Amino acid sequence: SVVSDCHELIRLLIFKGQVSEEAMFLRVVRAAGGKGVKHEYVRVVEAYREHGKTRHHTVLNLGRRDLLASHLDLNKLMRLLHGDAAPDGRVRREDVHAVAAWDWGPMLAAGHIWRELGLEATLDRLTRPGRSDATTLSDRALVLVANRLTAPGSEHGLARWLETDFVCDRAGRRWLPAWRADAERLPSKTPRVRVAMRQLKQWYRTLDQLLERKSDIERVLYLTLRDLFSLRVDMVFYDLTSTYFEGSGPPEMGAHGHSRDGKPRNPQVLVGLVMVDGWPIAHHVFQGNWRDAKTVPEVLSDLEQRFGLKRVVFVGDRGMVTSHNVDLVREHGHGYIVGRNRRRSGEVFDYIQSATGPWIECPVGITAREKLTPPKTLVQEVASQQPGVRVFVVHSEERHAFERSQRAKAMERVRTRLEKLARRVAKGRLKAAEKIGAAAARVLARNHGHRYYDWACEDGVFRFFEHPVHFTREQAYEGK
């Protein structure tokens, strides 16, 4: 076609610097067509010398001259091939300079994956016809996703990213940041907000619209990933984290609970993530004061009803294990792999003690593989005390080193306080047995001291020593 030939010509001219000037020129030839009509055809011809003689080689047939008129200026092409200067009043090539450039690659890659996964078509279909945003929700959502992939930040910080990257919608229209003028911003009630509120609300509205369609989006994306990557859906991994608010947070969700961010004074929410074969297929947001185990029934129900998973192996950590949850998983016909809390059941210690056979080394994970000396994770199966349940004891070298170090630090702190208490008793500052016992209890309550030490007070002499039962048990727990 004419268009493809023009593209070929452009690529050809890019490499024109490799040949000498006057090496190429245009040639117009006439040829008879049907019914005696004659047409003119344009060719790019290269001149070269061979054995002292000038020869011509047709590099490219551009096609009929009359059809090229709307696509190609032959006079400009002739001047370009001959290296002639631009005519008066025209911009010369050497006068053109690049004054700015924007990153295009990240958005190009994100957009390709976005469309490959069918997200653009899915959001277009899920948007009600007739709404003003019927064709733009997907474009706006892609901007938010691409921003978090390349330069994670808030919707306010997204404006700075729009200045450095070329971000456009499907029609090629570039998204530009809308900055507030200082004259309007500084005297306002929100002088720190530099982005125009209309643009911020645009992104916030996009998040609200995505939330309304969350269930459908996740289900369609799961079906796409399942078919595209042949996912094995026989094992489901589920885990939780928390994220906190600097303000009060949403009143119906934000609450104080076990903080994984080290921010116990801040209200938070729990975020649960469901993984299948290494791919996230769903996420859930729960109230910040929920226990991990309380979230499991809702997640199981969602897997069955929304994703149609009838028989899976549910994998969760020890915080999700309750007798009710285990019974629930069994009643629904699912299998499970769960961690057991080491200290809440005596049978766990028995299982650890019975792990006297050969250990099997587990494959090294991604994080461990990046270390100079990858730590090992070992596992062995032990005899179960419950019919139909298999028990495995897992030992992590990395976890063992960490927990042993933490125990040594805790024991040092507790020992220092116990030595101080012993000096008080020896100097007669503390004589009553009940007061000595209360003081010792307070010391052992800190840094888990009761796990490591025991004490006795006889004939006015206070002494402490490693606990004959608990200390040995703690050493056995390390790394498990």
Q: In what order do the strands lie in the sheet with 335-338?
A: 279-287, 268-276, 235-244, 313-316, 335-338
Packed helices 119-126 and 214-229: angle between N→C axes, nearest 10 degrees: 150
The DSSP bridge pattern shows strands 453-458 and 461-466 to be antiparallel
Q: How far is CA 440 from the centre of its chain?
A: 48
Domains of the chain: 2-88 (no CATH), 105-212 (no CATH), 234-339 (3.90.350.10), 352-480 (no CATH)
The CA distances from residue 288 to 80, 132, 298, in Å, are: 68, 36, 16
Per-residue pLDDT of the chain (480 residues; tens, 9 = 90+): 444 555 555 555 545 544 444 577 888 888 877 777 788 888 888 888 888 888 888 888 888 888 887 777 888 777 777 766 556 666 677 778 888 889 999 999 999 999 999 999 999 998 876 555 545 899 999 999 999 999 998 888 999 999 999 999 998 889 999 999 999 999 999 999 999 999 999 999 999 999 999 999 999 999 999 998 888 888 999 999 999 998 888 889 999 999 998 999 999 999 999 999 989 999 999 999 999 999 999 999 999 999 998 888 999 888 888 889 999 999 999 999 998 888 877 889 999 999 999 999 998 876 777 778 888 999 999 999 888 899 999 999 999 999 999 999 999 999 999 999 999 999 889 888 899 999 999 999 999 999 999 999 988 889 999 999 999 999 999 999
Per the listing, tokens 């200026």 go with 73
CA distance 43 to 61: 5
Residue 329, SS3?
A: helix
* CA-wise closest residue to 298 among 285, 308, 310: 285
Tokens read off for 206: 């996009």
Read off the pTM.
0.69
CA distance 55 to 53: 6
144 membership: H or E segment, kind and range: helix 137-150
Please say whether the beta carbons of 242 and 261 come within 8 A: yes
What is the CB neighbour count within 10 angstroms for residue 421? 20
Residue 284, SS3?
A: strand
Tokens read off for 464: 């402490």
Q: Which residues contact 31 (CB under 8 A, 6 or more apart)?
A: 38, 39, 41
